[in-house]
Structure 1
Amino acid sequence: MLARSAVCLLMTTLVLGTLSAAEPVLVKIGSPIGGHIHPAICRTKKGTLIVTFGQVNHRDLRISRSTDAGKTWSEPAAFAHTVKKSYYPGSLTTLADGRIVHCWNRWSTDTNEQEPRSVLYSVSSDDGLTWAEPQALPRDEKLRSVIRHPLVELSADSWLFSLDDRTLVFHPSTSTDESFGDGRVHGLTPIVRTPQGTFISGAGLRSTDKGKTWSKIEKFPDLKTQGWRHELVCLSNGWLLASEILGPGFGGERIRYVISTNDGLTWDQTYEYYNPGRAIGGRACPRTVELNDETIGVVFYDVDAKEKEGRGLFFLTIPLAKLASN
């Protein structure tokens, strides 16, 4: 049984940063003002960590990089393609060839905050230092289309996107798309593929035939109600981690993983990694990345107005042994 004991982070002093490598280590990335902070994260083939987040609600999208596994971070800088433009945060994905895909959401024009939103993406070939001109995903101009989760690279020219209005396979070479599997819409929830080729949907569904048929997962955490907020990731060892935020109020009080170690069949193991001993300020929107076969890291925010040093965007490094220990 995986551990359920909380790592109580003393946010006001960030003392976890002084602990040994065997313990979770907390690092502050930035101090976003508020609103839809909603971070995204990826790890490049070279080991660079890239994080994007909202500094000012819908008006200032920032990007930060770490080249030492999250110990230190570059000063968050404006993302070039959203300067003087409105946006809604999206996702980051590392492709098999080493390129990075950053997706974000454009409002009905470049400067307003009105629906319908649509998805833009830009590709970086130099570890997130520069980004190609944005391209648009196919859309129905009358419908809102929003992204919040990483794409699944089915092949070099087939990217699986789970958007709130469509679940589609996009072909970047031709800018064309097609439906995925049985054509159902999974909504604004994550979809991941396991090392065994199984697809797990944040809607609480599991497919072993490339999405042609789906079975309901029993006792699966509720990712769908607030799909933009929650996450689902698959590690290289096959473990599946789904986020769960517990407690009353706007932001809850504790964050934990609900874990499957058998290809998504059962989800009865948990690990709580954040418990500040008070209400969390904001939705947290955790996003996890695998650092190596022994360590993961998760980016999230807590902007409690009563805190000073303890408010901000944080990166927590967690040894996988912690998830497996009693």
Structure 2
Amino acid sequence: MNLPRRHFLALGSAAAVAVTASTQPAAATRYRQSEGYRWRNVEIVGGGFVTGIIHHPKQRGLVYARTDIGGAARLDPRTQRWVQLLAWVGLRDWSLTGVESLAIDPADPSRLFLAVGTYTNEWSPINGAILRSTDQGRTFRRTDLPFKLGGNEPGRSMGERLAVDPCDGRILYFGTRNQGLWRSTDRGETWARVESFPATGTAGIGLGFVFFDQCGDRRGRPTRTIYVGSTDPANPLWRSDDAGQTWSAVPGQPTGLMPHHGELASDGQLYLTYGDLPGPYEMYNGAVHKLDTATGVWTDITPLRPNTGGEAGFGYAGLAVDPRRPGTVMVSTMSRWGPVDDVFRSVDGGATWHSIGSKIVLDTSGAPYLDFHETPKLGWMIGDISIDPFDSDKVMYVTGATIFGTDDVTNAEQGRSTHWSVRAQGLEETAVLDLISPPWGPPLVSALGDIGVYRHDRLDVVPPDGQAANPVSGSSPSLDYAAKTEGFVVRVAYGGSLQRGAFSTDAGASWQPFAGEPAGSSQPGKIVVSTDARTIVWVPGDVLPHYSRDRGATWTSVAGLPQQVAMVADRVNPSLFYAFDPATGTAYRSLDGGVNFLPSATGLPTGSGKLETVLDRSGHCWLATGAGGLYRSVDQGLSYQRVTGIEEAQTVGFGKAARGRSGMAVYSSGRVGGVDGIFRSDDSGVSWTRINDDRHQYASTNEAITGDPRVYGRVYLSTNGLGIPYGEPI
């Protein structure tokens, strides 16, 4: 998944007469902690790049997976569902859900280590960290690093960069992207650079993996032989034979490519996959090689050679050896976009190979969106493979969207089909861009990064038809519904001409693409619709906003607005629209159905904002401005008053009113009393209740929020990589 952390977008309101908004700072306010909320995820299954997977060699059924932005997870062997380990990460530490590497202690199943941090970019202010657990990820201790990590950057499926010495669990090594090789001698609590290690690898990619050869070493003493993979194509593999004191490039090794994965089999054969680039999106050459560590002889065992015999360019990434069967090895291609990536299996040390894809029976019913309304594929961005150390028939591999697994991989050796199915249940990794919960139809419709739009008739069941079709879309940043016109929904997405926008008259069960689009536009931006469904306003962001009165067939430029604004429609009055310019802090409104806008309020906070209108109150509009706080208008956007009970508001949304209350419940991802959280107000913002807890923070919850207009207390959250959590009172 190549989504940057999404910055806070802008939304707002407006009127015909300019009025200065009240921007008095919110006083520090105490909040009430809810006595009980149950948090679960809306079932989508996967939806993002799973970058690594590891079986523990000492405990049957203990498996971990890591992702680029969606945390790390442990497989529950009883339910066969993944358990998210990083839901506790808060908004201000959002970067810690990008997992650069994952390490187990081979001798101690209770211990788990994560190297976390999503970006090394200048705009990301958060350094990386090492998280240490002694209870399989139920709790962690944190050691901050003096540099950033890149869990969502090129080469993120290389690995593992972090490794525990199998003979002495106090010792860990970590190959970084820019700072060379680091070592801990106290189980990851403190770290220091290994000054004797001479390589740093390609800038920004660095050292891709570390592993140990424990042959002949004694427990309790550091392993003497250590290998490190460097992304310097001139010297890709390094070795130490004195427990990390000195290092040298392995003699006779192939050069010119970057190693992606390296594994040492129990018979002393060392296997490596290579690509000319770090992946996952681009590789144009690659290979698979093995080294006989006893003789020093290298052998090229590439299963399918890129750029020959009609094959285009691609590389190799995923790699697994069978601990129970020396000579059994599996590898995967990467960036073989045509025809598709494949997994190859050998039982004779790479002398011959079987293509898994050639006789695969693939069951995608566990996540129907994977078909994209076409023939299902074996996968793309296959960055890692893991063979069950207790059962050679069981294998799992990870992709850019899910985890596939089989229980009969040895069929390949007899030329029979192998059967694979989705094994990502419980691992919700979507980046959520927008959410709506209309007063009719399904409880939720979601717009997601990479994999489109979904109608959720049941929250605990994967949408059986997959993502919205006609057109099938990728990243979809905006949805809206016509509150008084049952079934009418609009959406926009990234795509080609006449593929970016669509409407539905049956609440997202089927769609019709817009027959036209704003002239000169190539972006999706924001879409809103009047409550009577007669007017659609599209704010692409790269041209002025446009409106349509014929369901998207023709579009006319709106008057009175700058190009970069956000917009919302009144949920009661079909003629009333609101807009907000975060660059100037100016709100606007239209009283003629989105044709003309005039400034209505000035002096609002600049930089960001999100705006939402109340389902059952004409003229009621709320504006969340992040650190600038929360604002409310009750006069059709003519003026805005600060809601003083909340210090910061990243989002705002509404749900069914509490019993005995006339106003809808208000929800916000915000800050009250100096504490970040998900808050609900049952009295129009006078007082607030924190409804999440420290175990359920979900990192980036600053994109969208909505209550359920039919179920009091139920709220749906957006996250950047942790799916759609929803909470309900217990």
CA distance in 1, matches of 2:503, 2:620: 27
Task: Write out aligned runs for 1:1-326 (5 A).
Answer: 2-4=32-34, 23-33=38-48, 37-56=431-450, 61-68=451-458, 70-75=459-464, 76-77=466-467, 80-81=470-471, 83=473, 89-104=477-492, 110=496, 122-134=502-514, 135-136=517-518, 137=538, 141=543, 145=564, 147=566, 151-162=569-580, 164=582, 167-169=587-589, 176-179=595-598, 181-182=600-601, 188-193=609-614, 195=616, 197-203=619-625, 204-223=630-649, 230-237=650-657, 238=663, 239-244=665-670, 255-257=677-679, 259-264=680-685, 266=686, 268-273=687-692, 275-276=694-695, 280=698, 282-283=700-701, 285-290=703-708, 292-301=710-719, 303=721, 312-319=722-729
- In structure 2, what residue type is equivalent to 1:208? V
Structure with the greater relative contact order (CA < 8 A, sep ≥ 6): 1 or 2? 1
Residue 262 of structure 1 and its aligned partner are, at CA, apart by 2.9
In the alignment, structure 1 segments of 5+ residues that lack a partner are 8-22, 112-119, 224-229, 247-252, 304-311
In the alignment, structure 2 segments of 5+ residues that lack a partner are 1-30, 49-68, 70-151, 153-429, 519-537, 545-561, 658-662
CA distance in 1, matches of 2:46, 2:452: 11
Instruction: Classify the secondary structure of the residue corresponding to 2:610.
Output: coil
Preserved CA contact (<8 Å) 2:434 2:479: yes
**Structure with bigger gyration radius:** 2
After superposition, the Cα gap between the structure-2 partners of 1:162 and 1:152, relative to the gap in structure 1 and judged at 3 Å, is: farther
After superposition, the Cα gap between the structure-2 partners of 1:158 and 1:125, relative to the gap in structure 1 and judged at 3 Å, is: farther
Preserved CA contact (<8 Å) 2:670 2:677: yes
After superposition, the Cα gap between the structure-2 partners of 1:219 and 1:299, relative to the gap in structure 1 and judged at 3 Å, is: closer
Preserved CA contact (<8 Å) 2:667 2:705: no
For the aligned residue pairs, the C-alpha RMSD in angstroms reads: 4.2
CA distance in 2, matches of 1:184, 1:194: 27
Preserved CA contact (<8 Å) 1:256 1:273: yes
Instruction: Classify the secondary structure of the residue corresponding to 1:316.
Output: strand
Residue 290 of structure 1 and its aligned partner are, at CA, apart by 0.9
Give the alignment's TM-score, normalised by structure 1.
0.61
- In structure 1, what residue type is equivalent to 2:456? S
- In structure 2, what residue type is equivalent to 1:64? Y
After superposition, the Cα gap between the structure-2 partners of 1:49 and 1:172, relative to the gap in structure 1 and judged at 3 Å, is: farther
Preserved CA contact (<8 Å) 2:623 2:632: yes
Preserved CA contact (<8 Å) 1:64 1:73: no
Preserved CA contact (<8 Å) 1:146 1:188: no
Give the alignment's TM-score, normalised by structure 2.
0.31
Match of 2:375 in 1: none
CA distance in 1, matches of 2:582, 2:612: 12
Residue 291 of structure 1 and its aligned partner are, at CA, apart by 5.1
- In structure 2, what residue type is equivalent to 1:269? W
CA distance in 1, matches of 2:493, 2:596: 18
Residue 280 of structure 1 and its aligned partner are, at CA, apart by 4.2
After superposition, the Cα gap between the structure-2 partners of 1:300 and 1:194, relative to the gap in structure 1 and judged at 3 Å, is: closer
Preserved CA contact (<8 Å) 1:162 1:191: no
CA distance in 2, matches of 1:110, 1:31: 26
Preserved CA contact (<8 Å) 1:43 1:94: no
After superposition, the Cα gap between the structure-2 partners of 1:263 and 1:27, relative to the gap in structure 1 and judged at 3 Å, is: closer
Residue 125 of structure 1 and its aligned partner are, at CA, apart by 0.7
CA distance in 1, matches of 2:492, 2:439: 22
Range with bigger deviation, 176-185 or 151-160:
176-185
CA distance in 2, matches of 1:302, 1:206: 27
After superposition, the Cα gap between the structure-2 partners of 1:47 and 1:245, relative to the gap in structure 1 and judged at 3 Å, is: farther
After superposition, the Cα gap between the structure-2 partners of 1:31 and 1:154, relative to the gap in structure 1 and judged at 3 Å, is: same
Instruction: Classify the secondary structure of the residue corresponding to 1:64.
Output: strand
